[in-house]
Structure 1
């Protein structure tokens, strides 16, 4: 059993593009919640508070060789020596579980060469290396002072992820050696909101027409725009006082993060040299590709909307040579005859991109984000929102900042220092105090399948089934909570009773469904899907069958769904297993 107030909290921000961990002791949190230790990673000649989310696994398919910058460097060495073909190199793989339908423990993901490994293996190795890295960094400081149960681990996930994806991350963390009872799941924009509520005003850059900045005053409402590498999460909070908050609108967003910009740049390179040449370059000179993408990442954050200066990147000589060998032409000369004439120039090993053309890489992502935010702000339930707080690594991009400021001049746009670290640090605060969000809004309608008396002409004939009490209509969506419903933290829903059917039955399993509709009729309606199953076990078989019933109550309002079941006859709490991984 975990203690109520852990002596240390360690948060792992598992990002699409970059990841890291941070921590603080209980006494540090009580003295100053923002006093948080952030890991510094070595990348080349620089220190960075985050490392690339890259994993290198040995040819056996299970053993981790390296993570982050070290994984990139080691893989580049293997490629250069022609020894990489049996190794597994994964990069920017987090979004795989967001885009995968029917996510399961057997879900496979591809490395950059198309080789497959179980997703849970790749994710757990990434979490494990950060867990072990923390323990090695703090071993001398913690030895003899802290036991395993004194540490609470926090793992961040996007707020728009469903229960299946959250359970997958929890499973990966447990596989990595973090005990289930010591782990909390934090929603990324919520974590950011918590940190921002503690930061002094001087640490924010503020743009907007309002003369006073009272974002965290009791009664104030603000939007958190968490723009990361993969997803953009948006949530809206109202301050309740005493540091508590409530969610005003269900978490929403989409896959419009910084990798969309990276994808546009990659498509430009493919058009520039041709797909086959780009793939050959990617496979044979991975180190040069990674260097080019690192440089692009820096330029991506610095580019501004109002400047027409030329953007200069280094183009690898290896790519120029492959192009010449494959086509018999010089790339510099070919550009003058294709669609990039006047927009792109190559001089020696430099590629110069006209500023307006470079900004086109951002068009899709920024239009998606601004359009979504605009629609959200028109919601009548969000009247009074006067601030947008931009957090996440992509929020450090100047062109995104300027686009939000210019698109919503009537609202304060607030950008904290080190916006890319806000989620990570906020997750540490959440680990110390996980009841600061007192009310959340359901993203989906949750329910179970049930049966009601069949009414001819009302119900579908295919769902009719005869029973001792007359014809019944099966597959009815029995609603428990509905999308958009405001639910208080750990709010217990009405109990549902289930009877067992045979003398030797000591467990009961039934499916749980979700729907994007507020009031679906059948579990097969458009927008409905099976979330997973719920199994109640440990039921006393000595109780007569007619009295053998269980009462099940679902508990919402936290970052994960909870369920409690009790044996009606013995009144004992029974074991419940939630399985959202198909």
Structure 2
């Protein structure tokens, strides 16, 4: 596609985003306008009001909210709203057939096809306004790896009904896109002896573990001699990673400041709470092997509640707990010792390793060389360390571009499409089977 543009659209259960590129193997991340390459390192995870990372759809009429506007709406818990990531999961991953109707919280039925077509039309409009010229365009859509075969057909019909011709469109699972990305950016690594080792070569198998907020998907892919891919195993579980971490986070605050303080904070200052939790999780990519504390900014609303409910300052409340030596508060900054932070991710890390072990056992596959850790919680150094310790003979790969690696991998796939075979979702009593996608 020397004179064309490859545009990738990730239709995800956690994020929906886009990437595009013209005449290059490096994908720009699209934020409403193409970014310069120099901006990629610092801006790959920015969410703007224009970027369709998170979409909220009104069930009473088709209003759409994107980025921070959508987050605000979610945090206010507007009854009747349908959150697009949940819509995608219910639509693509709920059974063999895509349901024709889905219901929002207020019970209003929504046409699955109507919602999908309108969201895709919106994305097309945004792309058209930001991509100049009339050059040939190839669209690559990614769907959750756990999506059913019927979901591929449903999405293709929705795309065509939204105005694209069928020959412009490719649809691939996220795991295939992630592997395509890693083949370019993580193709070699150093062995114990210091030699360069090729991570991806014919016959080698890679596990792709997608570690998202409320589920994990595990897939095993093998690269063939002709460059094609075979997904020889795929399965997923509802593992509430975000909920596990959030529960530990809440328990820590209740232990220090009391349940009535936290309950009022969550009920009356919900946006502040979600901002606080996001900032807390933002520390999970940091190196926790040193003694430097992790720092989060406490909202003034929380400080006022502590004083109002307990008659104490935040500093005084901390001093009266058994973790006073591992937590401090100065100038609106809460400083947490690394070991306290690590303990809050322990259950999530343990469940991640358990799912990997289960996947290895169920698949019964050998020649697995790489473990590719993707998804939002792939950034957690605690989860990464647990995987390294549990599987020392495997090479762990964490895509460097985080959530946008899926969209970037889809761009690369569109520039050099590879045939692949898709596995069925399996259980303990089922042998490995594949079917053409």
TM-score, with structure 1 as normaliser: 0.59
Counterpart residue number, 1:11: 8
Counterpart residue number, 1:472: none
Counterpart residue number, 1:530: none
Aligned residues: 419
Q: Is the 8 A contact 2:32 2:126 kept in 1?
A: no
Query: Are the structure 2 counterparts of residues 183 and 198 from structure 1 closer, same or farther at C-alpha, using a change threshold of 3 Å?
Result: same
Matches within 5 A, 1:118-133: 120=112, 128-133=121-126
- Are residue 154 (structure 1) and residue 163 (structure 2) matched? no
In structure 1, stretches of 5+ residues that fail to align are 446-481, 488-555, 559-582
Cα offset, 1:59, TM superposition = 9.7
Decide which structure has greater helix share.
2
Cα offset, 1:373, TM superposition = 1.8
Work out the CA distance in 2 between the residues paired with 1:17 and 1:405.
26
Counterpart residue number, 1:321: 304
Decide which structure has greater strand share.
1
Counterpart residue number, 1:365: 348
Work out the CA distance in 1 between the residues paired with 2:401 and 2:153.
29
Q: For 1:389-448, what per-residue CA distance to the aligned partner results, in whole angstroms no more than 9, with x for missing partners? A: 3333432332222222222212222334324332212223444565521x3332259xxx
Equivalent of residue 47 in structure 2, options 22, 47, 51: 51
SS at 2:317's partner residue? Answer: helix
- Are residue 177 (structure 1) and residue 56 (structure 2) matched? no
Counterpart residue number, 2:177: 191
Work out the CA distance in 2 between the residues paired with 1:200 and 1:393.
19
Q: For 1:177-206, what per-residue CA distance to the aligned partner results, in whole angstroms no more than 9, with x for missing partners? A: 3659465442111211123223474xx666
Q: Is the 8 A contact 1:249 1:484 kept in 2?
A: no
SS at 1:51's partner residue? Answer: coil
Q: Is the 8 A contact 1:208 1:405 kept in 2?
A: no
Equivalent of residue 40 in structure 1, options 16, 25, 31: 31
Work out the CA distance in 2 between the residues paired with 1:272 and 1:93.
34
Q: CA RMSD in A?
A: 4.3
Query: Are the structure 2 counterparts of residues 290 and 243 from structure 1 closer, same or farther at C-alpha, using a change threshold of 3 Å?
Result: same
Work out the CA distance in 2 between the residues paired with 1:88 and 1:339.
43
Q: Is the 8 A contact 1:206 1:412 kept in 2?
A: no
- Are residue 442 (structure 1) and residue 424 (structure 2) matched? yes
Matches within 5 A, 1:427-438: 427-431=410-414, 435-437=418-420
TM-score, with structure 2 as normaliser: 0.76
Q: For 1:160-186, what per-residue CA distance to the aligned partner results, in whole angstroms no more than 9, with x for missing partners? A: 34457x369839955993659465442
Counterpart residue number, 2:199: 215
Q: Is the 8 A contact 2:221 2:231 kept in 1?
A: yes
Cα offset, 1:118, TM superposition = 5.8
SS at 2:224's partner residue? Answer: strand
Work out the CA distance in 2 between the residues paired with 1:377 and 1:15.
25
Query: Are the structure 2 counterparts of residues 163 and 362 from structure 1 closer, same or farther at C-alpha, using a change threshold of 3 Å?
Result: farther
Q: For 1:349-402, what per-residue CA distance to the aligned partner results, in whole angstroms no more than 9, with x for missing partners? A: 222222111112211221111122234335684222222233334323322222
User: If you compute each CA radius of gyration, which structure gives the higher value, 1 or 2?
Assistant: 1
Work out the CA distance in 2 between the residues paired with 1:376 and 1:11.
29
Matches within 5 A, 1:255-334: 255=239, 257=241, 260-269=244-253, 273=257, 277-278=261-262, 280-282=264-266, 284-304=268-288, 306-334=289-317
- Are residue 108 (structure 1) and residue 118 (structure 2) matched? no
Q: Which one has more relative contact order, counting CA pairs under 8 Å at least 6 apart?
A: 2
